[in-house]
Structure 1
Amino acid sequence: MNRTSRLVVLLVTVVVLGAVAVGATLHAAGRAARKDRAQAGGPAVTSGAVRLDDPHRAFFRNMAWGPHRDEITAVPAGRLSGPRTASGVRCLRFHAAAGTGICLEAVHGELRDSYRAVVLDRRLHALRRYDLAGTPTRARVSPGGRTVAWTVFVSGDSYAGTAFSTRTSVLDTRSWHLDANLETYALTVGGHRVHTADINVWGVTFADDTHFYATAATGGRTYLVRGDRTARTLRALHSNVECPSLSPDGTRIAYKKRVRGADPDAPWRLYVLDLRSLRETATGEHRNVDDQAVWRDGHTLVYSLPGDFGSDLWTVPADGTGTPHLVVSAALAPAFAR
């Protein structure tokens, strides 16, 4: 091969390699652009008036990208994928009942963020604010709207391991009396008072304005406990229960249960406990659920799983039948009128 031929081959090789590089770059850019368009083209959200006492509406934290991300949003109660009306109130965790709301929000500072709990009236106006000792993780309102609770991570950021500490507070919205830390309540397990320093309490769900259920951990085990605000007691009922959620009729608890053989970073499956018989029923959701489920009605559970926008809401029957269904994308922390 003479010199001219070698130059021609070299030139052709350079052109081909350049074309391949340009094509790869355009393909990657196209994929990124399509992804951006998909995210930007998420559920449509418009601003408007939102009332927490509207029986025809359900509420959740909107996770769709755009100016209304993280705002508490109202949708038709019977069609969660319907038109979204954003309130302008941003929350990391949220719950509402009987026209009372609890919003755990971030306060952005120059050096670091802090967090606070905000009690909301039916028009989402702030009634009281309370500084939080850590990162928000759970929030609940009693069915009558009088009592609210919240849980934060004081250290750690996951329930999966053992290196975490929580603080759970309960607030009476009439007297504004605050029990800042439920670990000060008297805990009994198997009829015996527990005095150890390793007690952790999280995930309140209310039976009424005074009585509630929660998770208590001690000695490396977790328990479903029944709490009494007046007596300031926690009584263990059943083991291996986390983030309980009481059914509307007060007879069952939905919860996440650690199962043997699961990934240590994804150890939970969604179960339902009958409070009279203490019989456990596994739901049809076989994926890891790291959430405090909500009862949409007396038969259906709603819970979050990771999605393209951070979180989607799924449903599954509470009686162990059926299969999970995606009910709405780009949503978190639902609340339903009773």
Structure 2
Amino acid sequence: MKRALSLAAATVTLAAVAITYAVTATADPSAAGVELDTSRPGQLLFLDAAGRVAAVPADDPGAARTVGDLHCRRFHSSGGTAVCLVAEVRGGLPGTSALILDSGLRETNRLNLAGIPSRARVSPSGRMVAWTVFVTGETYNATGFSTWTGILDTRTGYPIVNIETIPLYLDRRRHHAADVNVWGVTFAADDNRFYATVSTQGRTYLVEGDYRKWEARSLRADVECPSLSPDGRRLVFKKRVSSSADGAWRLHVLDLATMRETPLAETVSVDDQVQWLSDELVAYAKPGAAGGSDIWAVPADGSGSPRLLISSASSPSGFEVTRQPVGATT
């Protein structure tokens, strides 16, 4: 059987929690987030230092922020749908609730999962939602970490809690292994094609998945936490360039037609799934003061230099990717 059976008894119990997920719904108009007008275009949404969903104008991210009362560990939004990952403890074990939200940040579905929140992503249309949780370990730098990644089709309401059993082809050969991990899903505009990271036998791979056919194939090695550009032609990802904790990853952009990769001007290690703000600009969280994080931006062609967008913040996203200029703070 798979890796979970080789873990300690507590982790096996944790697995049972993940499998017995629940989907619920609420139409409470007083749900969290009512302070935010997410229907207004040209906003950047993010989590503040307290984990609350907040918004600033995309063309003036240094302006006063509007803060809601919804708290998340990870957050992402697109196409009128948002996902909020909430860390919980159930029976002494870590758990995650994946809250599926509408454009007013009102809860429409909830999935109770195992593990610690790690990644969250919504497709451009808002139909498909993905999440990743750590079921062992709390960082991608940890040895022996294990992730479970799920996908929810909001139109059908059907969730796949752990996608690591998807038929996988590495170098065109069907791959079977007990150590497969999948994380960092990003969706194409057709709500069928998706990209993700797969690790197995000590290596990481970028894979392209087909949701309807339910299969995935490798495209290249050494790609982690991909994020697809609005034009669907490029992926920004983190590439491991060092085995040390400092400087472990460097952001790169991959041209999917030529498979040419370009290092970005950010040289500090970034452990995040990057958000495209436009076809030319990407945003990401990196360590800030007092153990927190700030949101920075950098051009997607390797030029320029990083610039601070929003201090004391993480999980940048927006219900519609803006194509207007994005300002910067100093």
What's the TM-score bracket when you normalise by the shorter of the two chains? 0.7 to 0.9
- 8 Å CA contact retained: 2:34, 2:105: no
What SS does the aligned partner of 1:188 have? strand
Counterpart of 1:6?
none
Equivalent-residue separation in structure 2 for 1:297 and 1:242 (angstroms): 21
Q: Which amino acid aligns with 1:323?
A: S
Equivalent-residue separation in structure 2 for 1:247 and 1:313 (angstroms): 18
What SS does the aligned partner of 2:114 have? coil
Distance verdict in 2 for CA 1:224–1:110, change over 3 Å = closer
Among candidates 47, 70, 91, match of residue 61 of structure 1: 47
Q: Which amino acid aligns with 1:150?
A: W
1:80 Cα deviation after fit = 1.6
- 8 Å CA contact retained: 2:98, 2:111: yes
Counterpart of 2:286?
305
Among candidates 30, 33, 38, match of residue 52 of structure 1: 38
Among candidates 176, 179, 186, match of residue 157 of structure 2: 176
1:98 Cα deviation after fit = 1.0
1:111 Cα deviation after fit = 5.2
What SS does the aligned partner of 2:164 have? helix
1:108 Cα deviation after fit = 5.8
Counterpart of 1:218?
200
1:53 Cα deviation after fit = 3.3
What SS does the aligned partner of 1:52 have? coil
Larger Rg: 1
Equivalent-residue separation in structure 2 for 1:49 and 1:300 (angstroms): 28
Counterpart of 1:317?
299
1:49 Cα deviation after fit = 2.3
- Structure 1 residue ranges without an equivalent (≥5): 1-46, 64-68
Distance verdict in 2 for CA 1:266–1:163, change over 3 Å = farther
1:218 Cα deviation after fit = 1.0
Counterpart of 1:242?
224
Share of identical aligned residues, percent? 47
Distance verdict in 2 for CA 1:172–1:268, change over 3 Å = same
Counterpart of 1:165?
146
1:82 Cα deviation after fit = 1.3
Counterpart of 1:96?
77
Q: Which amino acid aligns with 2:204?
A: T
- 8 Å CA contact retained: 1:103, 1:117: yes
**1:272 aligned onto 2:259:** no
TM-score between the two structures when normalised by the length of structure 2: 0.83
- Aligned positions, number: 286
Alignment of 1:128-167 (within 5 A): 128-167=109-148
Equivalent-residue separation in structure 1 for 2:80 and 2:289 (angstroms): 31
Equivalent-residue separation in structure 2 for 1:172 and 1:81 (angstroms): 35
1:112 Cα deviation after fit = 6.1
Cα shift readout 1:43-102 (whole Å, capped 9, x = no counterpart)? xxxx96214333221100011xxxxx2110111121222121112111100000011000
Q: Which has the higher helix share?
A: 1
1:109 Cα deviation after fit = 6.5
Question: Greater shift after overlay, 264-273 or 195-204?
Answer: 264-273
Equivalent-residue separation in structure 1 for 2:194 and 2:92 (angstroms): 38
Cα shift readout 1:130-165 (whole Å, capped 9, x = no counterpart)? 112100000000000011000000101111143100
Counterpart of 2:166?
185
**1:255 aligned onto 2:237:** yes
- 8 Å CA contact retained: 1:94, 1:102: yes
What SS does the aligned partner of 1:132 have? strand
Distance verdict in 2 for CA 1:182–1:114, change over 3 Å = closer
Cα shift readout 1:251-289 (whole Å, capped 9, x = no counterpart)? 000000011x55256410111100000001011111111
- Structure 2 residue ranges without an equivalent (≥5): 1-32, 322-330
TM-score between the two structures when normalised by the length of structure 1: 0.81
Equivalent-residue separation in structure 1 for 2:133 and 2:147 (angstroms): 6
Equivalent-residue separation in structure 2 for 1:187 and 1:128 (angstroms): 29
Question: Greater shift after overlay, 132-141 or 308-317?
Answer: 308-317
Distance verdict in 2 for CA 1:107–1:198, change over 3 Å = closer
Question: Greater shift after overlay, 163-172 or 266-275?
Answer: 266-275
